[in-house]
Chains A and B, each alone.
Chain A
C-alpha cells in the first residue's frame, strides 16, 4: 500500500466506525427515550437550583416534578424562592398559588461568655453532635449553644457565621432563606424559624432553658427564669410560659416590645428596632443579648439576588 492508500483507508474506516457508532447511539436514544413533561424543565429553570432540601424534597428537580404532579401548590413551598417563585410556578402550571409568610431562622440562646462562664474546655472533634453526645456543654447551662458550628456547616447560603466574640452563631437575615437546614442540624434544638416581619424586626425569647428560675439564672445571666412578667404584660396573649420558659407566638405578637421592657434578665431579644425614645434603664442595654442580626434593608419579599 502506498501512503496515500493508507491515508484513504484510515479515513474511510474511521468514518465508517463513527457513522456506525452514531447510528447505534441514535437508535438506542430513540428506543429508550422517556417521555417527560416539558413543564418539569420549565419549572426547574425557574427554581433557585440551590438543592438545599428546604422544600422537603431531595433536590430542585424532585421539587419541580412534585409541582407538576400535585393538584395544588399549597404544600409545596420553596423557602428560597419565596412567594414570588410560587407565583411564577403557578403561572407556568396554571394553578393557584397561596402566599405564605416567609420565615427566617433565629438563635434562641444568648449565652456568650460574659453571661455564662465556661467551667471546662471541650477538646474533641469540632462538631456539636459529637459534643452533645458526650456531655451537657462547657458551661453550667445544659440547653445552650455549644458554638461548634453544625449550623454553619449545614447552611447552604452562607447565612450563618460564628461570632468570635460571643462564640455564638449569627444569622444574616438577608441571606437566610428559611430552608430549615440549620434547625435540623442543631442537636440542642436551639434554632427556630420565625415569621419575617416588617423591616426584619424580631422579638423572641432568646433562651430555651427549662430549668427552674434559680438554677437557670445561676448558670446563665440572660436565661429565661419563667417569672411570667412578660406573660402578664403582653396585651395580645402572645406569650406562654411553660416549664419555666416563656415562648412568644409570632403569629400573635405585634412587636410592641412591652415584654422586652419588663424582662428582668433581658432574655427577650429585640432585633432591628430603632433605639427607644424613653430609655428604660441604661445598665440593661449593656447586657442586651448579642444575637442581633446584621442590619438589613427591607427585604420582606426576597428576590432573585437574595439566593
Chain B
C-alpha cells in the first residue's frame, strides 16, 4: 500500500486539466506592477524611484528584516510610479509600476539552456545567495526560503523533504516542472542539501503523477541520497506536517516546526528557483503558473513574469469564459478568490483557476446535524464544529484550549460538511483572534 498521512483527509475530484500541456513562456505586458509584499513577513522597502531605468533581474525592493525577501524587477524599462494596487490579498498594497521597454537582462544572468551540475559554494554562501535572490516558498505559502534553510541553534536537520505532491485539484505547475526541469530540480535539491548539511532528501509525489515519479526516479539514480516516494492521492498531503508524516512517519509536535523532527520541507518549484539562483545567477522574477478551469478553452501552464496582470495570463489561455463565476489564485481548496482581474502575478501564485458560475456559489447553509464528518476528515485531529461555534460566540480561551492554532486551514471540513456550514470561515476568524491574544500575552 502506498504511503500517506494517517489522520483525516479528503479526496476531491482531481480535475488536472492542464497536466499534458507543456510550459509555455508568456511575454510580459506593456506595464507590469510588482507588489512589494509577495511573501510572508515584512513588506520589502522600495529602492527605486520614479523614472529610474531598470533591467530584468535588477533589485528593486530590499528585504526589510530576517523574515522578508528581496524583490527583483521582472522586466526592463522605466519605473512609472510607485502606487497602490489591489494584489492577491484583496487589498490595495504598494507596488512598483514599470513601463516595459525591450527585454534587457542583467549581464550576469546565464540565459543559456545548458544544465550546470557542479557547484562550489559553501553552505553559508548558498543561503546568502538564496536570501539575496529573493527566493521564497513557491508552494503558495511564500515563506522566505533562507529562513527555512537557516537551521536554528540547537536543532539538527536530518532530512530534506521535497514537496512534489501538488495535492490541490486542478493545479499542474509542479507536475510539469518535474517533467520538464527534472534534472535542474535535482541539482537544486543537492544545493539545498549542502546548505543544511544533510545527506538524504526525499521527494514526495502523489501517485496520480506516475510519469513524474518515473522520470525523477530515473534521473535520481545519478544523484546520491535523493529518493522518490510515491504517495497515495489524498488531500492535504502537500501540507508540510502531513507530508513529513507521510514520507518520514514522524509527527511535527503541535506548535512546532518541521525542524523539530529534523526535517526541512521545500517545494519542487523552490528547488528549481534555488538551482537557477545558484547556478545561473538568476533571481526569482518568474515562475510556473497553471491557468485552468472547466470552461477555459486552453488550460495551460505558463512561465510567467512577476507583475504581469492575471487578465493577461487568462487571455493567453484562451480568454475569460463567459460563464465565469469566480477567479481564484491557487487551487480550489486553499486558493484565494480575487476581486480584480488586474491583480498582478506574484511569487505565491501557483495557479489561476476560473470557476464557472454554476459551480462557484456556496450552497445554502443548514443546521449542523452533528454527523462528525468534519472531525473524521480533519488532518490535524481537531473538532471543526466546536471551533466554529466557539468562534461565533467569541469564546477565545476555550478556542485556544481546543487547539485552534493547530489548524492548517486546508478546508477539508468545509469541503465535506453536508450542511454546507462555513466552518473554515469562522475558524480562520478564531485563529486570527486567538493568535492576537497569544502574541499580546508573549509581549
Contact = CB atoms under 8 A, between A and B. Distances in A.
Interface string A126-137: 010110011110
Interface string B20-59: 0000000000000000000000000000000000000000
B426 A125 contact: yes
A32 to B, nearest CB: 28
Contacts of B19: none
B234 interface: no
B336 to A, nearest CB: 8
Which bucket holds chain A's interface residue count? 10 to 19
B361 A134 contact: no
B92 A136 contact: yes
Interface in B326-362: 336-337, 339-340, 360-362
A142 interface: yes
B74 to A, nearest CB: 25
Max chain B C-beta neighbours (<10 A), residue from A119, A124, A134: A134
User: SS class of chain B's interface: helix, strand, loop or mixed?
Assistant: mixed
A136 B429 contact: no
Interface string B60-97: 00000000000000000000000000100111100000
A136 B425 contact: no
A3 B362 CA distance: 71
Given A123-B361, A123-B362, A135 B425 contact: no
Contacts of A5: none
B341 to A, nearest CB: 10
Interface string B404-431: 0000000000000000001001101100
A142 B92 contact: yes
A124 B425 contact: yes
Instruction: Identify which of A120, A125, A130, A135 gathers the most chain B CB atoms within 10 Å of its CB.
Output: A125
Given A124-B422, A125-B426, A133 B86 contact: no
Given A119-B339, A135-B339, A136-B86, A127 B426 contact: yes
A130 B426 contact: yes
A197 B295 CA distance: 59
A135 B90 contact: yes
B91 A136 contact: yes
Interface in A103-124: 119-120, 123-124
Contacts of B425: 124-125, 127, 130
Given A133-B429, A135-B89, 17 more contacts: A119-B339, A119-B340, A120-B339, A123-B361, A124-B422, A124-B425, A125-B422, A130-B425, A130-B428, A134-B90, A135-B337, A135-B339, A136-B86, A136-B92, A136-B339, A138-B339, A142-B91
The list of the 9 closest CB pairs from A to B, nearest first, reads A135-B90, A125-B422, A125-B425, A130-B425, A136-B91, A135-B339, A120-B339, A123-B362, A129-B429
6 contacts: A123-B361, A127-B426, A129-B429, A129-B432, A135-B339, A138-B339
